[in-house]
Chain A
Amino acid sequence: MSVLLDAAVQAGPAVRSVPALVDFPFAEGYVTSVIAVSLYVSVAAVALSTLFGVPVAIAMGFADFLGKRFVKSVINTGMGFPSVVVGLLVLFAVSNRGPLGPLDLVFTREAMIVSQFVLATPPVTAISLAAITGVDDAVGDAARALGGTRVDTALVVIKEARYGIATAVLAGFGRAISEVGSVLIVGGNIVGSDGVSKTRTLTTAIQLEARQGRYGTAMALGAVLVTLVLLVNAVVVRLGDTGAVNR
């Protein structure tokens, strides 16, 4: 009998880990602080990626310059760049002997922002560029024929590409907030002695819970993460729609 039980336990956590109530052995404010860190890091990183990536996409969409193809292949490579490698490189960069050493960023949220920025920028740029180059040439021609300057024409094309650009930002946000590898390496998954997250995000928290066998807790945090992503998507789509009505 006991052999059977042992076998059942060893067979896997699934048998025992469906508790009646999800185990939440955390200090007050722990979960909200984890959510806050996740949002802070991802939103800041994607904001920076957008400020950098969308203008680059616009420049590439409207101007010809030396090395354009090279930039394009760098961006495309960046889309598939493994996040743990980015984490490692950023860790080297911010470590004491690295070029950013004096800034003292090891295991900080700001270091996480740097690595998320590196990860989110390629998809933001590439998808924005695809949206801009995908706009029918006839639209730009019409703007020009109606007396538009080059700037006017570019503005019209960007406006036509607005949904695609919003998609690009969302894709960047999706990559940033759901990412584990690099934030674990550069952030260190740290929680203060007061039980408040310093560099722990939802993803790294989930990873930790799962490793400790608290699958229910991990699932609950996972649900929070999915809800968050859905909410952000809804907000962006809604903004796009109101913009569409009053354009």
Chain B
Amino acid sequence: MIRLDGVSHAYGDDPVVEDVSLSVEPGEVVAVIGPSGVGKTTLLRLLALSVRPTAGTVTLDGRDAWALDDDERLAVRRRVGMVFQDASLFDATVERNVEYGLRIRRPWAERVRDQVRSVLGDDTIPEAVEEALDVVGLADALDQDARSLSGGEAQRVSFARALAYDPAYLLLDEPTSDLDPRNTGLIEAAVREARDRGIGVVVATHDMHQAERVADRVGVLLGDGFTEVGPAETVFETPADERTREFISGELVY
């Protein structure tokens, strides 16, 4: 389980996230919904251990990540994958992109050998790479130049890139906000596949319908922390919090 306990984060004097708590179990999809600029991205960065909270703790499987030394925290961080709104693929083939997470987890001697082999044109493609690309329906794009892909394909490769090294938790930041319905559907199917593999998934989205489609649980982030966290049906059908109800019914406009 990955969890935030009373976590706050501020850029300078400006608090972005204040006193937020959330936990995610393996094999469940949690959607974080809320208007733009409410701190969803910062929340994911806190979960990804890429920013340090100014207060509170981030624990992964019971270990307080920021109480660990650098090496231990790296090991913990490497169990989490993150996909951004922009695919931000590397200027390389699709295969090299998806393989990246596997590659950097290998010892340096092996990495150098792999690099030499790749220059000599003698690549062996790890099974995990093919499998991950298969999940997003791009198994035949292995040798394509990543920069030649369409936006939707690039985002699916970006998803495969995070899936390939089999993370315990996967964080998706507005993964489909720039995509057409077909690519959105493919990403959502991939999210379900990840859940079926036992991965805990967090999706930050401003698309409530997407949250309804993919999430087991939903957290509603409005201004200063979650107004409501609960099973998707409860949050959407019978929200306990007044502001949540207004937000979901579209009355609360930011």
Which residues of A does B touch, CB under 8 Å? 136, 138-139, 141-149, 152, 156, 159-160, 243-244, 246-247
The distance in angstroms between the C-alpha atoms of A152 and B96, with both chains bound, is 14
Residues from chain B with a CB closer than 8 A to the CB of A139 are 88, 90
A142 CB to nearest chain B CB (Å)? 4
CB neighbours of A149 from chain B (8 A): 74, 104
**B86 in the interface (beta carbon within 8 A):** yes
A144 engages B50 (CB within 8 Å): yes
User: Which residues of chain B come closer than 8 Å to A141, judged between CB atoms?
Assistant: 50, 84, 88
List B residues at the A interface (Cβ < 8 Å).
Answer: 48, 50, 74, 77-78, 81-84, 86, 88-93, 96, 100-101, 104-105, 118-121, 158, 161-162, 165
| Residue numbers in A under 8 Å from B88 (CB-CB) | 136, 138-139, 141-142
Known: A138-B86, A142-B90, A247-B118. 8 other contacts (CB 8 A): A139-B90, A142-B84, A142-B158, A145-B48, A145-B82, A146-B82, A147-B101, A147-B165
CB-CB under 8 A from B104, the residues of chain A are 143, 146-149, 152
> Separation in Å of the A131 CB from the closest CB of chain B?
12
Which residues of B are found within 8 Å of A143, using beta-carbon distances? Answer: 90, 100, 104
Main secondary structure of the interface of A (DSSP, over half): helix
Known: A136-B88, A138-B84. A146 touches B101 (CB 8 A): yes
Enumerate 10 A-B pairs (CB-CB under 8 Å) in ascending A order: A142-B161, A144-B50, A145-B162, A146-B82, A146-B101, A147-B74, A147-B105, A149-B104, A160-B91, A246-B118
Contact yes or no, A247 B78, CB < 8 A: no
- Give Cα A127–Cα B201 distance, bound, in whole angstroms: 42
Residues of A within 8 A of B119 (CB): 243, 246
Write out the residue numbers on chain A whose beta carbons fall within 8 Å of the beta carbon of B100: 143, 146
Contact of A247 among B82, B83, B86, B96 (CB under 8 A): B96
In the assembled complex, how far is the CB of residue A145 from the closest CB belonging to chain B, in whole angstroms? 4
Give the complex CA separation of A148 and B162 in angstroms: 12
Q: Are B118 and A146 in contact (CB-based, < 8 A)? A: no
- Kindly state the separation between the CA atoms of A82 and B78 in the bound complex, as whole angstroms: 51
Name the CB-closest residue of B to A146. Answer: B101
A159 touches B90 (CB 8 A): yes
Q: Contact at A146–B162, with CB atoms within 8 Å?
A: yes
C-alpha gap A243/B104 in the complex (Å): 20
How near does chain A come to B26, taking the closest CB pair, in angstroms? 18
**A190 to B131 Cα, complex, angstroms:** 67
Residues from chain B with Cβ under 8 Å of A142 in the complex: 84, 88-90, 158, 161
- Among A139, A147, A149, A159, the one with the most B-chain Cβ atoms within 10 Å of its Cβ is A147
Which residue on A lies nearest to B74, using beta carbons?
A149
B90 touches A145 (CB 8 A): no
Q: How far is the CB of B145 from chain A (nearest CB, A)?
A: 9
Smallest CB-CB separation from A157: which chain B residue?
A: B90
Question: Could you say which residues of chain A place their CB within 8 Å of the CB of B105?
Answer: 147
A139 to B74, CA, bound (A): 19
A160 to B100, CA, bound (A): 14
Interface contact B92-A247, CB-CB below 8 Å: yes
What 7 A-B pairs have minimum CB-CB distances, sorted nearest first? Answer: A145-B82, A138-B88, A147-B78, A146-B101, A142-B88, A247-B92, A152-B104
B81, B89, B104, B161: most-surrounded residue (chain A CB, <10 A): B104
Chain A hits for B161, CB < 8 A: 142, 146
Contact B81 A146 (CB under 8 A): yes
B91 closest partner in A (C-beta): A160
Residues of A within 8 A of B96 (CB): 247
Chain A neighbourhood of B89, CB < 8 A: 142
